[in-house]
């Protein structure tokens, strides 16, 4: 009951900025956030280009289950379905960014949610390497928004772990050293900012009255 009340209260307290009229989150929306988790999260922001004023290092897919809002996300050790309030409380920002598919791509939403549910329990991809049996947050979005063997709505691009100086960001060097793996520089990948920057979505901002 407490979770139900919290979810209802949260939805009632979400107001959308910039004059948008649709105040409700929708099935299949991609929610983006900046998690304060130390050097590695800072490294993601430093090495993945976003538009000015935006900083994202995590994302997930909104799914309504039993009328309540959840976020299907790759976080921790695996892909999980977490209550929306749990997702939101990780980020203290008063703004929630939502990447919503444009109407011409709406037919992708239902199959994407079905795939996301199938992926529940899939291990988290700590190495951010494509083609294995694990998923990181934006990789989950990439795979869910593919129809069969057709290209994803969110195509991959060469990954970089270098800062604007052209040098590998120190936190990445330390991280991959701890994994005893080579840095996958140049391999195909994705990231939350690439999703936010995509032409197939409209990026909405919601004000959270916490």
DSSP-derived secondary structure for 108-170: GHHHHHHHHHHTTTPBB-TT--TTSS-B-HHHHHHHHT--TTSPPSS--EE---B-TTSSBPH
The Cα 154–Cα 115 span in angstroms is: 15
pLDDT tens digit sequence for 46-89:
888 787 778 899 999 999 999 999 999 999 999 999 999 999 99
Report all structural domains of the chain as residue ranges with CATH numbers, in order of start.
2-208 (3.90.1720.10)
Low pLDDT (below 50) residues in the chain: 1-9, 11-13, 15-21
Residue 8: per-residue pLDDT: 41
Separation of alpha carbons 92 and 101, rounded Å: 25
Q: What is the pLDDT of residue 6?
A: 47
Do 195 and 73 touch, CB atoms closer than 8 A?
no
Burial group, residue 71, by CB count within 10 angstroms (0-12, 13-18, 19+): buried
What distance in Å separates the CA atoms of residue 36 and residue 99, rounded to the nearest whole number? 21
Q: What is the pLDDT of residue 10?
A: 52
Q: What is the pTM of this model?
A: 0.88
Beta bridge partners of 69: 64
Range list of β-strands (E), 28-67? 30-33, 58-65
CA distance 115 to 204: 24
Per-residue pLDDT tens over the stretch 10-26: 543 454 444 343 558 99
Closest CA to 60 of 125, 146, 136, 154: 136
HSE-CB for 198 with a 13 A CA cutoff: 26
């Amino acid at each position: 009951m407490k979770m139900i009340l919290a979810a209802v209260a949260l939805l009632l307290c979400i107001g959308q900025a910039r004059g948008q009229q649709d105040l409700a989150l929708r099935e299949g929306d991609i929610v983006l956030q900046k998690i304060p988790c130390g050097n590695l999260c800072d490294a993601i922001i430093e090495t993945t280009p976003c538009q000015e004023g935006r900083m994202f290092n995590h994302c997930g897919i909104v799914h309504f289950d039993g009328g309540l809002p959840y976020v299907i996300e790759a976080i921790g050790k695996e892909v999980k379905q977490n209550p929306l309030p749990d997702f939101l409380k990780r980020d203290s920002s008063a703004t929630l960014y939502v990447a919503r598919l444009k109407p011409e791509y709406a037919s992708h939403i239902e199959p994407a949610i079905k795939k996301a549910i199938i992926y529940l329990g899939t291990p988290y991809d700590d190495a951010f390497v494509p083609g294995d049996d694990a998923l990181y947050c934006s990789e989950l979005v990439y795979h869910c928004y593919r129809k069969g063997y057709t290209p994803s709505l969110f195509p991959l691009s060469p990954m970089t772990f270098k800062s604007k100086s052209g040098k590998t960001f120190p936190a990445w060097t330390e991280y991959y050293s701890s994994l005893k793996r080579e840095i996958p520089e140049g391999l195909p990948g994705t990231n939350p900012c690439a999703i936010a920057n995509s032409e197939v979505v409209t990026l909405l901002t919601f004000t959270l009255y916490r």
